[in-house]
């Protein structure tokens, strides 16, 4: 008997190891290595939208509280926790690279190009694709893939759906529910582990 067809194509998800491989593939001698590592880790560790990352300003970083403030869809503001690894990469970039890039501008954007201007969505997409290829990942990956991975890994780890909804900035929980369609192998493992009659 064939497996039932899942009607909607599920979002592409990377494993934690694949994401680590991407940042590890970034050559430290590359002049924008610290920036690119911070970008990739922020997309995954915070689940931030690429437009939110482009719009992120230094005044929205609250390192003492391990939080960042983003302006989401519909001008809805939300606070997001920033994990230790993302914070380290971001701090490293801010201390060692950003000030060199903004010498001739007064940009308040966190992530800037070689001429000190805010990075665009296309630029961030290209940065991610470049390092995915360098790490040996051949599947199609976009900044949204890292957001999908963020949500999926939280739910697989036992996070409540409402909590994930709040972090993602979804106004409707049905948007978040796409992530409850975990892969079949994981569903079977959860069933075997948690159901008394499995």
Residue 35 annotated in active site: no
Catalytic residue (one of 37, 147, 148, 153): 147
Catalytic residue (one of 73, 76, 114, 186): 73
Residue 197 annotated in active site: no
Catalytic residue (one of 78, 117, 129, 144): 144
Catalytic residue (one of 35, 37, 49, 98): 49
Residues in Cβ contact with 153 at an 8 Å cutoff, skipping those fewer than 6 apart: 16
Residue 88 annotated in active site: no
Residue 170 annotated in active site: yes
* DSSP, residue by residue, the chain: -PPPPPSSPPPP---HHHHHHHHHTS-TTSTTHHHHHHHHHHHHHS---HHHHHH-BGGGEEGGGTEEEEE-GGG-EEEEE--HHHHHHHHHHIIIIIHHHTTT----BSSB-TTSPBPPHHHHHHHHHHHHHHTT--S---HHHHHHHHHHHHHHTT--HHHHHHHHT-SSHHHHGGGG---HHHHHHHHHHH-TT-
Catalytic residue (one of 69, 78, 130, 170): 170
Residue 30 annotated in active site: no
Residue 49 annotated in active site: yes
Torsion of CA 176, 69, 100, 112, to 10 degrees: 40
For the annotated catalytic residues, the residue numbers are: 49, 73, 144, 147, 170, 179
């Amino acid at each position: 008997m064939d497996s039932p067809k899942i009607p909607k194509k599920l979002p592409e998800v990377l494993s934690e190891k694949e994401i680590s491989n991407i940042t590890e593939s970034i050559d430290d001698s590359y002049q924008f290595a610290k920036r690119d590592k911070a970008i990739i880790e922020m997309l995954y560790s915070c689940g931030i939208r690429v437009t939110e990352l482009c719009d992120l300003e230094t005044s929205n970083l609250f390192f003492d509280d391990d939080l960042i403030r983003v302006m989401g869809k519909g001008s809805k503001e939300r606070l997001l926790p920033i994990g230790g690894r993302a914070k380290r990469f971001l701090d490293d970039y801010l201390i060692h690279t950003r000030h060199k890039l903004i010498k001739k501008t007064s940009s308040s954007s966190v992530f800037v190009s070689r001429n000190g201007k805010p990075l665009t969505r296309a630029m961030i997409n290209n940065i991610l694709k470049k390092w995915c290829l360098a790490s040996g990942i051949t599947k199609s990956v976009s900044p949204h893939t890292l957001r999908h991975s963020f949500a999926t890994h939280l739910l697989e780890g036992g996070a409540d759906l409402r909590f994930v909804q709040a972090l993602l900035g979804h106004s409707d929980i049905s948007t978040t529910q796409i992530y409850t369609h975990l892969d079949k192998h994981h569903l079977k493992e959860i069933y075997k582990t948690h159901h008394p009659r499995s």
